[in-house]
Amino acid sequence: MEAFFIKNSKIDMNKLIKPFLIAIVSLSSINSFAQDNKDDLEKLLGEEQPKKEYVKNAFKSNRVIQGHSMEMTGKGVLDFRILHRFGEIKGGWREMFGLDQASMRMGFDYGVNKDLTIGIGRSTFNKEVDGYVKYRIIQQSKGVKSFPISILWISGATMQSLKATSTNYLSDFSNRLGYYHQMIVGRKMGDKFTLQLSPTLVHRNIVATTSDNNNMLAIGIGARAKLTNRMALILDTYPIVYGAREAYNYFPLSLGVDIETGGHVFQLHITNSKGMNEKAFIGETTQNWGKGQIQIGFNLSRVFTIVKNTDTSW
């Protein structure tokens, strides 16, 4: 009788333990499955959370045609740039429609960081050397903490290197100098169109006549309309709102096409301005579109990476 109860006791223990073991294993499986699904859900939600994204490629170059654009030269990148202007088209076939004459500017722009570019150049027009500092205050962005426009500031100076004579007053070094300050406010609207405004103040230490103003104010307008992935129409103009001499200073107007060819950006355009820095094309454009005083020109840009940029966050 005693053995019978001991045997039955063992049987009852097995029946009690087995369900508990099954329950523990089941709960462990359910918990593991739930945790896996939780991790997958958190990962999925994390990927869908909005992030801040900076707007790029508003223009294909750091210049629209004549003036600065809202684009910057990349960090550690050197941009070698040649600006070329032929003579006036109205010279006809005897002057090869302006191809017999030419003026140019050769310059170097360097990206110190993503928001700071410096540059220097030399023009055959008035034999001027120019330099500038360009700083991006804020960049257009979308997503978290987005901002609808880009804002930039540029300050630059020019120096004439012409030989001093008794009539040009260049024996006084300060008379060789000119300055400009500019703010750019721009926005890329979708993938096809960009528009920017560029209020620009130009100061010249010396002017040609007493009727000229030392200070001039212009409101630059730059626009780009994308045609294909590598081609776009571009407009660059600077209507003068203060300081122009009547029937002498005309506002510069340039129309052209932007062509990207790998590491090069090629711009072909028509313009009424021979000057290729802000002091020259704002303050010294004397050609008039209405009189056919225009010329063909082109800009060629080739970039070289001097310091490799590992920051891809912007």
Classify residue 159: in a domain, yes or no: yes
Both 133 and 40 in one domain: the answer is no
Classify residue 88: in a domain, yes or no: yes
Both 175 and 94 in one domain: the answer is yes
Classify residue 40: in a domain, yes or no: yes
User: What pLDDT is attached to residue 16?
Assistant: 47
Both 20 and 162 in one domain: the answer is no
Both 96 and 229 in one domain: the answer is yes
Distance CA 69, CA 67 (A): 7
Longest Cα–Cα distance of the chain, Å, equals: 139
User: What pLDDT is attached to residue 4?
Assistant: 37
| Domain interval for residue 13 | 1-49
- The runs of H, that is alpha helices, within the chain are 2-48, 278-283
User: What pLDDT is attached to residue 7?
Assistant: 40
Classify residue 311: in a domain, yes or no: no
Per residue in 207-224, pLDDT tens? 888 889 999 999 999 999
Both 67 and 172 in one domain: the answer is yes
Both 97 and 226 in one domain: the answer is yes
Per residue in 105-119, pLDDT tens? 999 999 999 999 999
Per residue in 11-20, pLDDT tens? 455 554 555 4
Does 253 or 14 have the greater pLDDT score?
253
Both 62 and 45 in one domain: the answer is no
Structurally, the chain folds into a number of domains equal to: 2
Both 198 and 233 in one domain: the answer is yes
Both 81 and 214 in one domain: the answer is yes
Question: What's the whole-number mean pLDDT along residues 228-253?
Answer: 94
Q: Which residues contact 120 (CB under 8 A, 6 or more apart)?
A: 107, 108, 129, 130, 131
Q: Which residues contact 265 (CB under 8 A, 6 or more apart)?
A: 60, 61, 258, 259, 299, 300, 301
Both 162 and 37 in one domain: the answer is no
Per residue in 78-108, pLDDT tens? 999 999 999 888 877 777 777 778 889 999 9
Both 245 and 146 in one domain: the answer is yes
- Residue 246 is classified by DSSP as T
Percent of the chain with pLDDT over 70: 82
